Structures are given as structure tokens and as C-alpha cells.
Structure 1
């Protein structure tokens, strides 16, 4: 019986086999009384249990503890599930120092704050540009930046940096708004200039056309798309904001631009030989001061005969009659 604990110290399996053999020999090959056999059996079992090594603990717990210790030593957040939750098959939330904050950028400020409050944040806001404007109507502002503070679950806050709707976001919070610059449109056709302005988000209803020559006149809308841009306001390299209006000073292709423009827009004059207010290239009678674009229907009151250069003779009996149509509208 003493061999049982001795072998148990060396090897638990051999000790258990020896315990079984000893019990068989004790009860079936021994003349001892039953009371002595029972006492010996209990003693053998107690001795064998005393020399067995302690039962190994849950390997899952050791693995989790090791992983958490390594994470702490490396400065990472502990993210392993606890042994209790692993034993019950439950996944606990993983604690983290940088929680996944929803992205509210690009939303209207009022909508962003509404969603953030629904997500459990208290909100704040400020002008994201260097102009430091006070935000009044949040529906007219757009979120460019957000800064969240989640140091405490009970006091999660988020601060929005916003710009007025239609304004581009600065490169950094508190930086200048990167408004586009006016390109050089001189020499472009009005149609090509309009396309470039549309690319800068300047709508057509804030783009105006005017003649560079004071005595010129624009034809009907759409008929001056091929006219040439001689000057524009704002000038080249000036900022184009969301409220900028643009004026294009134009000239008909056959006239070209005056030698000097700039602040003299609209003061240069095209040749007008008869000094009737119409430039020669538009005047059907450039040598007749009495006929111009304001003459009633281009009709004369003469009673026949030649009616000036380019006129026709339309005599009628009795000496009266119309002098015919001497207008570019005929």
C-alpha cells in the first residue's frame, strides 16, 4: 500500500493503477477482516489524493490574463473579454481609448447637432474660418470639422466647426476660407467665359454683360455668345465668393477691344461718321444724320426721289408717298 503514494508522486497515472491493483489484492487475496480492509482502503485513497499535484486552472483565464498584461505593457487598451463572459458565451463591449465617433461632416449644422444629441452627445459649435463670426441660423451653416471628448461616458461632448452654406471649408479649423480666384477671361468669348464662371459656382443670374464701347449695343440675349471679353469685374486674381456678381465687358468680333480698358469701361467710342449715335457698323445709313436706330420704323417722310445712299425711289401719283424702308430691320 505504501507503493501507492510513492508512485503517485512520480506519476499520477502509475499511482492510480497501483491503487487499483492494491485494492483488488486487498479484498480478494487477503484474509484480513472487512473492517481492516475498509480502513486500509480509505488510507490508500487519502494518501494517493494527498500526493497528487494541484488541478490545472482554466487555460482561458491564463491566456486572457497574459494577453491583457502584454497589452498594458505595450500601452494598448485592454480589449479581451473577461473569463466570466467567455464562459457564458457573451461578448462584452471592447473598451477603447478612441471610440468610433459618427462622422457628421458635410451636414447642415442644425441636422448635425440633432443627430449628435440623439447619439448621446452634448454639442457646441463655432465658426471654422478665421472670421470668427457668431453662428445664429444653424440651418445656414455646414459642418467642416468636429472634435469629440469621450473621456467620460456620462459627459460625452462634441464641438462642430462650421462655415456658412456655400463657402468652402478651410484647410484647417480656424484658417482662411479658400475662395477661388477670378481667372483671366480677357480674349475669351462670352460663351467660354460663362463656362469658366460656372465652374467657380457663379450662377448665370449673377453674370452680367455690357458693351465695352459707350455707343455700342448688345443684340438679343444669346446672339452675343461669340462676342469677345475685353474686361471683367472682378479683375483677375480677385476672390470669387458666394455673393460675387460678375460683369463681362464685351465687344463684337469685328470691332476688337479698345486700346485702353480698365476703369474706362464704356467710355471708348466706335466710329460714328454721321454722329447720329449709332456706330457705323450698325448704322444702315452711316452718312445720314436723320436716319438712325430711333427713326420711326426706318421710314422717311420724303415724297420720292433718291432717299440717300442705298435708298430706293418709290414715287406715287400726286407727289405724296413713302420713301421706302431704309432700315436694317427691313
Structure 2
């Protein structure tokens, strides 16, 4: 048997053929040409007995031939930026389409587009509606996050348009790119800038009613604000009955951003009480005086010296044992000896 035959694709002629095929396929299709270039370089350098200088020369030739047949890169026509569109509009007397720094409509029913000679105004619309209208107007629409977060946009119905940039593609198609933020978020001052969330004001010492008004002026939804007691053993009265209670601490703190996902918590104290020291650090854990230790702070306990009676059970706490402070010794003894079923000493109407 003779020596094993070299596969045809590893012969010198085959390698030269692969190199020559690079420009041919590159002329027909850039992708196929690129694949052939990779294959030719692989065969040139793998298992090839050619001298290294030949391999280098063939590599340079293949790359040069491939680049020579590629079509010239399309010149990217500069899109009309919003600022350029404004300048053209001012010069021609048309409507200005510069972005508004104001917030977008939360219900997606933003201001109706103001039709101009070329570029309608889609700002304030919900993103899915803006894209639909733009496509109906003959635009190819794109979108991106207008904030500095650079998040991907998945549910366009949850985003609203802040900015728009119109232009023309290399093929002459009218394009428009929307910069959007999540609905309910204020628009940045510039495309790609930070969202100007409102900052938490200093509400310490304000009443619940006053604090609510200050937050409403910042467009903080009322249903995302709630009250709590600063003292752990205190209880809020029914809604509407703590309007005069004052704020001792709040979260977020002063100067912190209030985002559309923030819950604003106000810790309150009754007008009869002062705020505890370092209120925010001890919120919910500070205690009001409770001499009879019945869980009812003295300031609103009608029986501050009787642990068996408080504002909830003025006639006695069900299941309590022992005498109240206003009971006589003999009464307590007789009560303690009666009942027999574990209710000893109960002086409640529940006995």
C-alpha cells in the first residue's frame, strides 16, 4: 500500500481555490464571503506545509480581496435632532417639537399630538399608542429608555413618551425614535438624564393634615402615604380623628427621593405627647407612661391606676384576676373564693 492520500481540501490547489473564492462570494453576499474568509484562513494555517511567509502573504491577499469587493458602507445621514427640528420650525414658523420637562400623563391619555407640516408631536402619549400613530403617519418607529438607567422596554403600554427624534434612513424611510419613561415618572430635563424625582420635605412637627397637603403638592399619591404611631404602646384612632396628630418622623427622610414605587410612612404622636428623642431611630419602640401596665397609655386611660379597667373595657378586662385598686379586701376575698372555674376575682360584666 502506498502512502495515505492527502485530502483534496488540504492540497495547495484547494487552499488557493478557497482564497480566490473569498472575493467571489464576498461580491455576491458579504456574510458568505466572510465565512469563506474564515475557512480559507483556517486551511492556510492548519496542517499546511507552506513557509510562514507564504501563509502571511496569502492571508493578507485574502483579506484585501474580501475588503475590495465589499460595497461601501452607507453614509449615515444625520438624523434631525429635536434641537435641529426646533431651529427649522422657528425659521419656517412651524410648531416646535422640543421635549417638555414636565411629567407625562399617567392614564396614557396625554395631550393630543399637535400636527405640524412634517413631524407630529407624540409627547405625553403612552408609548404603544405613540408608536401606532407614528406608523400610521408613515414613520418607522423605535424607542429607548429616556432616563440614565438605560433599561430595556418590554411592556410599551407601561411607558410614556418624553422625547422624540425624527430623521431619515439611508433608504429614504422616515424614522422616529421615542425616548420614554415608565408611566407615572417625571420626564428628565434631557434625553438620557436622571429622572427628577421629588425630594421629601421636612415634615417634622406638621400635623397629619398639613403633611398630606405638602405631599399632594409634590404629586405624591395619597394612597401611597400612611400613618403609624411613633410610640409602640399607642394606637391610632379611627381615620379622620388623628388629623391634628403631629409628625415625629417620616420615611423617606428629608431630601430623599420619592419614587413612584415609594411608600411614605409618617409616624405620629397625639397632641398631648411630645415626640421621643431620636424619633426616627426609636419609631415604634418608644413607650408612653403606663402606670397600671394594662397596655393603655396614661394620657387616654380613664382608669390609669386600675389595670383591670381601661378605655376598651371600662367594667374590667375579661379573664382578669385579682382585685382592682378601688375594691375592698373582703370583696376581693369573696370573689377569689368563688367562681371555681378559673375566673377567680373577676368583677367584669363578662363573668
- Sort the TM-score into its range (normalised by shorter chain): 0.5 to 0.7
Give the Cα separation in 1 of the matches to 2:182 and 2:224: 19
Quote how far apart the aligned CAs of 1:187 are: 0.5
Partner of 2:179: 161
Is the CA contact (8 Å cut-off) linking 2:307 and 2:324 kept in structure 1?
no
Is the CA contact (8 Å cut-off) linking 1:121 and 1:157 kept in structure 2?
yes
Partner of 2:315: 298
Is the CA contact (8 Å cut-off) linking 1:202 and 1:244 kept in structure 2?
no
Change (3 A) 1:114 1:300: closer
Partner of 1:233: 251
Match of 2:278 among 256, 260, 276: 260
Structure 2 residue 149 is the aligned partner of structure 1 residue 131: yes
Partner of 2:189: 171
Unaligned runs of 5+ in 1: 1-78, 80-97, 312-318, 326-330
Change (3 A) 1:151 1:123: closer
Quote how far apart the aligned CAs of 1:307 are: 7.2
Give the Cα separation in 1 of the matches to 2:174 and 2:277: 66
Is the CA contact (8 Å cut-off) linking 1:233 and 1:248 kept in structure 2?
yes
Quote how far apart the aligned CAs of 1:204 are: 2.4
Change (3 A) 1:300 1:156: closer
Which of these two proteins has the greater Rg computed from alpha carbons?
A: 1
Give the Cα separation in 2 of the matches to 1:243 and 1:130: 18
Structure 2 residue 142 is the aligned partner of structure 1 residue 148: no
Match of 1:100 among 118, 125, 149: 118
Unaligned runs of 5+ in 2: 1-91, 93-115, 328-334, 336-345
Quote how far apart the aligned CAs of 1:242 are: 0.8
TM-score by length of 2: 0.56
After superposition, the C-alpha distances for 1:98-155 in whole angstroms (9 at most, x for unaligned) are: 9631111111111111111111111111100011111111111111111111477941
Structure 2 residue 138 is the aligned partner of structure 1 residue 120: yes
Quote how far apart the aligned CAs of 1:181 are: 0.5
TM-score by length of 1: 0.60
